[in-house]
Structure 1
Amino acid sequence: MKVVFIGASSLAVATASHLIDADYEVIIIENNKDVIDNLIGKVDCVFIHGNGCKPAILQETDPNSIAVLFCLTKSDEANIIASLVARSLGFKRVITRIEDPEFEHICVELGLNETIVPTLTNARYLANIAAGRHIHELSAMIRGPVRLFSFIADEADAVPIDDLALPKQSRVIYCYRDNQYLPIDHDSTLKQGDEVVLVTTSEDYEKLQNKWGNGKAK
């Protein structure tokens, strides 16, 4: 299985090393030649020197053969642009790293449903440890084909949950309304602008993305 990283950040290199140990084929795209020269011989992967936001550079990786593309540069804007370009080129999965939480809602509106905010995640994790709360690893709870999906509700989605006509194995579990967590019951009604989070399966994920992949119903 092949995985691509845009940006040779410490997070990218650490993740790449784990995947290489698990027999994944890894490609790292990095714009700084000095960084690549420093990593060659330390990380057993293919390096591409260039701007990962450029379609021609991404095309060199053969998008149809790539399982996951991670956009992990130090620039939120570059990661978002690279993610959108990658989506247009047909990459199956695109993971977008952002540091500024204000971009999170924008990413969802753009259909970048697999966005990570490492600083915020780590801060919550450490705060929970300090408070003595029991921490469950997300990876331990989400197994096999189970996936999470989110979208921004538009005017057409402002209906009772039961009227969304979701695939059989998909359920709305909660939403954010005005940045506030809101639990969902079977008789709850969505409002325009709600960020809706569903639990689904790999099989149904594509169906949901076809409907809400760009942040609005198609």
Structure 2
Amino acid sequence: MRAAFIGSNSQTLSTAELLLEDGHEVIIIERDRARIDELSERFDAGFVHGDGTLPDVLRDAEPENTDVLFCLMESDQTNILAGLIGRSLGFARVVPRVNDPQFQRIAAELGLEDSVMPNRAVAAHLKQLLSGAKSLELSSVIRGEAAIFSLTASETEKGPIGELDLPDRTHVVCLYRNEQFYLPQEVRTIKAGDEIILITSHQQLSKLEQRFERSEAGDQLNAD
């Protein structure tokens, strides 16, 4: 897999390091030449010098040969802009970092459904630790043939949860509405914009992708 990153903050470097350890190709787009010189001694990665929000610079990262573009800069607005430009240039998948819930909703409305909220995820984990709860990584409890698939409901999916067109061995685990978590028995009707979390088997992923036109790489989380 080939992954490109805009910027070189700590989140980018931590993710890039893990990908490199697994044998993936990493490209880092950085506007500071001195920073590139420093990082090139630490990371066996490719580098593109320039502003990652500019189309000409992103083209140098070879969107046609890249599986995913990560936009993990500090500014939500900049990440969304870079994600939109990257998508228009043909990156197969763009993943913008978005921390403000209002920008998360905007990102979803713009079709940037792979946006991530790392600050919120870390905060939720710390809250569990403070309460004394045992927090488990999802990959440690989803094993074997099981997989998690998420989708953002469109107008087509509106209606009773029980009428959602799902393949065999696939069930709704929960959904998020306006950043609130609900179990299926608590909210029986799906609204446009709801994030629906499904549990399924690997064999059904292709059917789900076709049904909801989602990317397997973006919406599944599997356990080894």
Q: Give the TM bin, normalised by the shorter chain.
A: 0.7 to 0.9
1:183 matched to 2:191: no
Q: Percent same amino acid among aligned pairs?
A: 37
Q: Secondary structure at the match of 1:48?
A: strand
Cα contact 2:176–2:196 (8 A) shared by 1 = yes
- Corresponding residue for residue 59 of structure 1: 59
In structure 2, the CA distance between the partners of 1:190 and 1:125, relative to structure 1 (3 Å rule), is same
In structure 2, the CA distance between the partners of 1:209 and 1:90, relative to structure 1 (3 Å rule), is farther
C-alpha deviation, 1:75, in angstroms: 1.4
- Corresponding residue for residue 216 of structure 1: none
- Corresponding residue for residue 206 of structure 2: 203
Structure 1, residues 154-212: CA drift from partner, whole Å, max 9, x if none?
3x433222433345565433223344322115x92223453433345552453255379
1:24 matched to 2:24: yes
Question: What code does the residue aligned with 1:146 have?
Answer: A
Give the Cα–Cα distance (whole angstroms) in 2 for the partners of residues 87 and 169 of structure 1: 33
Cα contact 1:83–1:96 (8 A) shared by 2 = yes
Give the Cα–Cα distance (whole angstroms) in 1 for the partners of residues 50 and 31 of structure 2: 5
Q: Secondary structure at the match of 2:29?
A: strand
Give the Cα–Cα distance (whole angstroms) in 2 for the partners of residues 191 and 208 of structure 1: 18
Q: TM-score normalized by structure 1?
A: 0.81
Q: Secondary structure at the match of 1:5?
A: strand
- Which runs of 5 or more structure 2 residues have no equivalent in the other structure? 216-224
Give the Cα–Cα distance (whole angstroms) in 1 for the partners of residues 17 and 194 of structure 2: 38
In structure 2, the CA distance between the partners of 1:94 and 1:32, relative to structure 1 (3 Å rule), is same
RMSD, matched Cα: 2.8
Structure 1, residues 109-137: CA drift from partner, whole Å, max 9, x if none?
22222222222111111121121111111
Q: Secondary structure at the match of 2:56?
A: helix
Give the Cα–Cα distance (whole angstroms) in 1 for the partners of residues 146 and 25 of structure 2: 22
- Corresponding residue for residue 45 of structure 1: 45
1:173 matched to 2:176: no
Question: What code does the residue aligned with 2:189 have?
Answer: T
